[in-house]
Amino acid sequence: MFARDRVRAGELRERYPHAAEVLRLYLALVEVWELVRERVPADGTVEWARSYVLPRVVEATAAHGPPLLAAAVAGTRAGGDGLLHAWLAHDEDLTPVERYLARATMRVVPVQPIPATNPGGCPACGGPPQVSYRTAGDDPLVSGRRMLQCARCAHEWSFSATTCPNCGETGERTLHAEAGAEPVGPRIGRGAAADSSVFPHLRAESCETCHHYLIDVDLGRDPRAVPPVDELAAVPIDLHMADQGYTKITPNLMGF
């Protein structure tokens, strides 16, 4: 299930030194998820995740995470189900560390549907979209079908390329091809990526109505890309978007 994630995280760790610590932690979490995913019980999954998965996530994070995050979780103990239930209920009051622990713990545990909070909500569970990606099309100059992946259950679904997943606006989108690059208006097709581009297959797609954005991964430019993994390497784009006054629809697993 996570073989492609493991390979891609290793590749990107070498390609993007700025993301090496985050991807090292991701690789450690993959080991946890692969260990536990075949042992998820049919019922009582939150209690099971609290007692069986959360301690392993804490251990992996303390051993392999970036220093600040490792220090923050080092003394954490799996006490009570409140943290996991709060995340499942889309509680915005969770701290970044609490949200990370809950997401990493529940990654392979089935979740119950909740009402969607935006037009691009997951059709399987109601969670918010984490990342957008374009499938590889037959024509190298034309973008493929747009897909979204859920931040809550990892379900993937097709979504309109001209609609904002956050507010439903059907226009006024801006594409930010690279951190620091000049934004451009809506366009059709891939165009030509600059040879000097650090992220030739990544861009931020923002809405000028609600000022929210998602990272968009173009599989036509890089067929080896694994959207949720490549999105973790897009930290410079996230920082640039924050500087420009945009807000990500939902932070990724690592809080960016």
pLDDT tens, 93-118? Answer: 888 999 999 999 999 998 889 888 88
Residue found by looking up tokens 């000028």 in the block: 208
8 A C-beta contact, residue 22 and residue 235? yes
**Residue-level pLDDT at 83:** 87
Quick check: 63 pLDDT over 60?
yes
Answer for the pair 146, 134: CB distance below 8 angstroms, yes or no. Answer: yes
The answer to whether domain 129-248 has CATH 3.90.1670.10 is yes
Share of the chain above pLDDT 70, in %: 86
Q: What pLDDT sits at residue 181? A: 45
State how far the alpha carbon of 53 is from the alpha carbons of 41, 70, 188, 242, in Å: 12, 17, 44, 33
pLDDT surpasses 90 at 136: no
Instruction: Give the other-Cβ count within 10 Å of 3's Cβ.
Output: 9
CA-CA distance, 26 to 9, in Å (whole number)?
8
For CATH 3.90.1670.10, list the domain ranges present in the chain: 129-248
**Residue 18: what pLDDT?**
95
* Percent of the chain clearing pLDDT 90 (strictly above): 66
pTM of the model: 0.88
pLDDT of residue 77: 55
Q: How far is Cα of residue 82 from the mean position of the Cα atoms in its chain?
A: 23
pLDDT range class, residue 197, cuts 50, 70, 90: confident
Q: Place 187 in a pLDDT band, splitting at 50, 70 and 90.
A: very low
Q: What is the mean pLDDT of the chain?
A: 87
Section 69-95 average pLDDT: 78
Q: Which two tokens stand for residue 190?
A: 């891939």
